[in-house]
Each structure stands twice: as structure tokens, then as C-alpha cells.
Amino acid sequence: MAIIQMSLTSLSRIIPKPFKIYWRGYGGFQALRKSPYLYLSFALTWLLHGLWLPVNCDGQREWASLALSILPSMVSFSLGAMAIVFAMTSGAYVKLLHKDGAEDSMFMQLVAVFFHFVLLQILAIIFALAVEAYDTLLLSGVGFWLFTYSLLAGLAAAGNLILVADIKNSAAPLDD
């Protein structure tokens, strides 16, 4: 047990601070375990096995090029949406979002969800490139799962924007 604790402590020292902040804001393994998007992505990967299992006549998996054509635009959307969130810096609703600087504020949760979205997209791009270079069934399956999970994480991120809009709408009378 002491060895595991020592390993986790050592690992904690090499993880960059932004990832620690993200993981805390996201809710850690508990939030991941409770995510319906995670489980739905596994189901979609299984249901859509006809996209990631077969190879075309050139010996390539076509889903990888599809992912590489979709994901860069999604990364741009994600970063643009985060910029919009950061641009809204005044008003009563911002105070509600920030919750006096609390680590578990809605603001930190929103940023963590968008970071999660971007992280999944980047990982999916890396795996799609790996499948293009070193195609294996395992790489293809994991990469396609990351691709579907990143798409569903976009839905989760958009849902969080709805939550922020609801807070802004509720706080509007306070700005008068």
C-alpha cells in the first residue's frame, strides 16, 4: 500500500498544474464514472463497429480520415466557445458563476468541461494519426472510441453553455 501511495505522490509531482486544476474542476474519476456520455460512447463504438473494423482497398481505416476532417473544426469551436465565456466578465451572473473563487464554482466546472472536450479531441486526433501510420485493430478501436467520446463531450459542453445561459437569465434582474 505504501508503494502505491508513493507512486501516486511521485506521479502527482510530474503532472502539470493545468491538468490538476482541470481534473479537480471536472470532478475526477467520480465524474467520469457517472458520465452518461462515456457509457454512450462505448455503446456507439460497439454499434458502429462497421466503421472502425474494416479496412478499405488501400488497407486504411476510413474512419481515421473522417475524424481528421471533423476534429480540427471542433477544436476551433471549443476554443472559440471558451473565449466567449471568458469575455463575459461583468454582471451579477459572473459573481454567481465564480462563487467567490471556490474551486468547485460553476465557472471552474464549465472551463473543466471545455478542457475535457478539447483534450478528448486532441487525443482522438493523435489516435487517428496513429491509425493512419500504424494501423492495428486496438489502435483503431481505441481511436474510434475517443472520436465518438469527443463528439459526445461536445454535447456535454454545449449543455453546460445552456446552464450558464440559465444562470445569466436568472441574474439579469440583479444587473439593473
Concatenate the DSSP letters of all residues of 71-90 into one string. HHHHHHHHHHHHHHHHH---
**The model's pTM:** 0.82
- 150: confidence class by pLDDT, cuts 50, 70, 90: very high
Q: What percent of the chain lies above the pLDDT cut of 70?
A: 80
Residue 57: is its pLDDT beyond 90? no
